[in-house]
């Protein structure tokens, strides 16, 4: 966890008071298919998991996972998650600490992942993001995607490049602006803007004090009461539809939403690089305690190895716009012209360049699903929603 150490108070705040010890099921026999609790963004190569199975050599039984960290923690720590899932992905920064501290996931052996040395240097021991896949110095996760979330905007209508979060809150877009219906990224990106613009007294946008959360929430409440936001979007489909229909002209969102919106009707909908900074994040895959007990380690390591293969990295970049987590993607694309035509290669090169630019911004704040004052986040977010 990058910004704050996970503790019991945060766990209780996230899950609600009175959490009891988990009632684990009996030890299961090893199943042929790896039961993977993960969202659709964890796969590439087609509408189902066939290509992923072929490339990894593993049969995969995917169980769709929601985007809520609190639901995932409850399921794994006090629910039946370990009886149901062999492997799982997270919902953002800090879940690896929460799950490892409660014994829901297990330590990994990097020597069983041939592509481990191919992983980006930022995750290797001593790297800037090394702690996002470790707990107490032990490797407990493998990264498969990352990004720095930014602002999508309809360049065809607006007619200019947007490079500041100021545009999202500018009155010229009143009624045609949107943000995510999630306190984590929405409060964080707003805090980055308020801090860097000098309009708020914010120390660390990733882990705000109660007063800092109040400042950010009151800023959003004031705008909402003025009718500034068309809506707060939920999910990729909702977010991309708002942009592609021109109902919304500016929206804080994931890059995949911008990509899908632009593809839908060919509009010039772009993903900017904000001068103030962005919320940066990664998603990881983990081996559950139940998966280890059921003898699914070999299958897990094969899948983890695929997540660090340029085959996966190039396709998640092309299809969903996520940052590859391994070296050699450019070389792989050049070596496989049958998979990537010249136009696609040009798009991917520009996309990578913009990612590097965004990820290098000193104003970036790392995603933190367990801020120290999580109750304040939850309480003030409820006020934003009710305004």
What confidence tier does 28 reach under pLDDT thresholds 50, 70, 90? Answer: very low
What pLDDT shows up at residue 7?
57
Q: Residue range 247-274: average pLDDT?
A: 94
pLDDT of amino acid 14: 54
At 20 the pLDDT is 37
**What integer is the mean pLDDT of 312-335?**
95
Instruction: Say if residue 316's pLDDT is above 80.
Output: yes
* Whether the model pTM is above 0.85: yes
Confidence band for 70, pLDDT divided at 50, 70 and 90: confident
Res 277: pLDDT: 97
Indicate the CATH number for domain 149-278+363-386: 3.40.190.10
**Percent of the chain with pLDDT strictly greater than 90:** 87
Query: At the top level of CATH, which class does the domain 9-140+282-308 belong to?
Result: alpha beta
In this predicted structure, what is the pLDDT of residue 92? 84
Which of 92-101, 113-122, 285-294, 378-387 is least confident?
92-101
Say if 9-140+282-308 and 149-278+363-386 have the same CATH topology. Answer: yes
- % pLDDT > 70, the chain: 92
For the residues 266-291, what does the mean pLDDT come to?
96
Is a pLDDT exceeding 60 seen at residue 252? Answer: yes
pLDDT on residue 16: 52
Helix (H), strand (E), coil (C) string for the chain: CCCCCCCHHHHHHHHCCCCCCCCCCCCCCCCCCEEEECCHHHCCCCCCCHHHHHHHCCCEEEECCCCCHHHHHHHHHCCCHHHHCCEEECCCCCHHHHHHHCCCECCCCHHHCHHHHHECHHHCCCCCCHHHHEECCEECCEEEEEEEEEEEEEHHHHCCCCCCHHHHHCHHHCCCEEEECCHHHHHHHHHHHHHHHCCCCCCCCCCCCHHHHHHHHHHHHHHHHCCCEEEEECHHHHHHHHHHCCCCCEEEECHHHHHHHHHHHCCCEEECCCCCCCEEEEEEEEEEHHHHHCCCHHHHHHHHHHHCCHHHHHHHHHHCCCECCECCHHHHHHHCCCCCCHHHHHHHHHHHHHHHHHHCCCCCEECCCCCCCHHHHHHHHHHHHHC
* pLDDT at 213 (0 to 100): 98
Domain chopping of the chain, boundaries: 9-140+282-308, 149-278+363-386
Would the pLDDT of 24 be above 80? no
pLDDT at 333 over 80: yes
pLDDT tens-digit profile of 170-227?
A: 999 999 999 999 999 999 999 999 999 999 999 999 999 999 999 999 999 999 999 9
Instruction: Give the pLDDT score at 25.
Output: 36
Average pLDDT (68-78) is 89
pLDDT at 93: 85
Is pLDDT at 12 greater than 80 in this prediction?
A: no
């Amino acid at each position: 966890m990058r910004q704050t150490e996970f503790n019991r108070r945060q766990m209780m705040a996230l899950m609600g008071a009175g959490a009891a010890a988990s009632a684990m099921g009996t030890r299961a026999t090893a199943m042929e298919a790896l039961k993977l609790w993960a969202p659709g963004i964890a796969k590439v190569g087609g509408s189902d998991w066939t290509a992923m199975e072929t490339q990894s050599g593993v049969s995969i039984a995917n169980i769709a996972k929601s985007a809520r960290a609190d639901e995932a923690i409850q399921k794994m720590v006090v629910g039946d998650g370990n009886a149901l899932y062999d492997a799982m992905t997270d919902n953002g920064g800090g879940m690896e600490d929460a799950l490892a501290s409660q014994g829901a996931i297990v330590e990994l052996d990097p020597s069983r992942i041939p592509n481990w040395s191919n992983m980006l240097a930022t995750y290797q021991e001593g790297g800037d993001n090394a702690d996002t896949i470790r707990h107490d110095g032990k490797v407990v996760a493998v990264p498969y995607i990352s990004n720095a979330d930014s602002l999508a905007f309809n360049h065809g209508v607006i007619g200019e490049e947007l490079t500041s979060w100021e545009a999202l809150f500018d009155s010229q877009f009143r009624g045609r602006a949107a943000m995510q219906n999630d306190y984590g990224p929405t409060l964080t990106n707003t805090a980055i803007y308020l801090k860097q613009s000098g309009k708020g007294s914010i120390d660390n946008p990733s882990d705000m004090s109660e007063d800092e959360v109040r400042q950010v929430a009151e800023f959003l409440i004031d705008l909402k009461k003025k009718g500034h936001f068309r809506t707060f979007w939920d999910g990729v489909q909702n977010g991309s539809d708002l942009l592609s229909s021109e109902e919304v002209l500016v929206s804080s969102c994931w890059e995949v939403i911008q990509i899908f919106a632009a593809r839908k009707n060919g509009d010039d909908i772009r993903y900017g690089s904000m001068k103030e900074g962005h919320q940066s994040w990664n998603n990881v895959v983990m081996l559950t305690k139940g998966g280890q007990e059921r003898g699914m380690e070999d299958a897990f390591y094969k899948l983890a190895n695929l997540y660090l293969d340029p085959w996966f990295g190039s396709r998640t970049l092309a299809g969903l716009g996520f940052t590859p987590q391994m070296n050699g993607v450019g070389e792989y694309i050049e070596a496989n012209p049958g998979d990537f035509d010249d136009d696609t290669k040009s798009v991917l090169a520009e996309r990578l360049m913009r990612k590097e630019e965004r990820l290098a911004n000193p104003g970036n704040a790392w995603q933190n699903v367990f801020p120290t004052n999580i109750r304040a986040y939850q309480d003030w977010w409820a006020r934003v929603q009710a305004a």
